Amino acid sequence: MENLTLVALCVLIGLLLQRVHVFKAAHEVLNAWVIWVALPAVILHYLPLLAFDQRLLGLILIPWVTLALIAGLVLWLGRQLGWSRNTIGALLMLAPLGNTSFLGIPMLQALLGDQSIPYALVYDQAGSFLAVVLYLPFVAAFYAGDGVFSWGKVLRKMITFPPMIAALVTFATWSLDRPVWLEANLIRLADTLVPVAMVAVGLQLKLSLPQGLGQPFAVGMLLKMGLMPLLALWLIQLLDMRGLPAQTALLEAAMPTMITAGVVAASHNLQPRLAAAMVGWGVLVSFVTLPLWSLVAQQL
């Protein structure tokens, strides 16, 4: 409860700073710190603690299978309910992709403890991050009307993304002993992830409801916050996953809409009000739903 209180407090601080306009573009600076410093430090410190075995396969499969199922359902519902092309494109970004790093890792620390972080990193890097660089550009190119999709750009994004570089460095130096001073400093930098990321989330929250888009908003929220973790739970049982890997996969699948997905949707003019609402309300609702899903996870 103490860790969850810290997460909520930092989000509240971010919301207050957003209202008083003390810092201009503060969220961009904090986002950069998380991506360039805190997340790489988390990866460099926690990933070597991971024991590689068949249990990790589920952490890689679940984000991709749930993405495919939710995306297919969005396409079907879009046709059945007569949604516009822009709305379908937006929900293809917003409904299947969760906030598995900025919000996910702090929430997992609060609900499952530090020992869940290595598993969260596998889910995030092999699932959510690759979806950002492979899936999001494809949807944007197809639904935003420009038709531009470059494998060269995708590859550059993958190999220049700081957390991915940190993961590659970790694997390259796996068998080497690290000096005590390096580990101590990595831990201190990694500890900045929760407060900095959560204040950044608070600074970016928009809690207005999208007028005229109530139905897509409600459906998108139900798909992301309700159906996706249920699908993950089904896959966990199908794959016979147990313990921390299963618990981590379930909670990661239950995370609200990814902020990056909302930003990409808005930047391509794919229902920006719907994107802002799903990101903002998703974070708020997750403070109720994630503790409830953690009760389910404890039975795994």
d(CA 140, CA 107): 29
9 pLDDT above the threshold of 90 = no
For residue 44, name the pLDDT band (cuts at 50, 70, 90).
confident
d(CA 140, CA 155): 17
pLDDT digits (tens, 9 = 90+) for 161-197: 787 788 888 888 878 888 889 989 998 998 887 788 7
d(CA 210, CA 69): 25
Mean pLDDT (the chain, rounded): 85
Non-local (6+) Cβ contacts of 125 within 8 A are: 43, 163, 164, 167
3 pLDDT above the threshold of 80 = no
C-beta separation of 232 from 66 below 8 A: yes
Q: Which long-range contacts (CB under 8 A, 24 or more apart) does 290-298 make?
A: 290/107, 290/111, 290/251, 290/254, 290/255, 291/4, 291/111, 293/229, 293/250, 293/251, 293/254, 294/111, 294/112, 294/247, 294/251, 296/233, 296/250, 297/111, 297/112, 297/246, 297/247, 297/250, 297/251, 298/247
Q: What domains sit in the chain, N to C, each tagged with a CATH number? A: 40-297 (1.20.1530.20)
For residue 64, name the pLDDT band (cuts at 50, 70, 90).
very high
d(CA 119, CA 124): 9
**The pLDDT of residue 251:** 96
144 pLDDT above the threshold of 80 = no
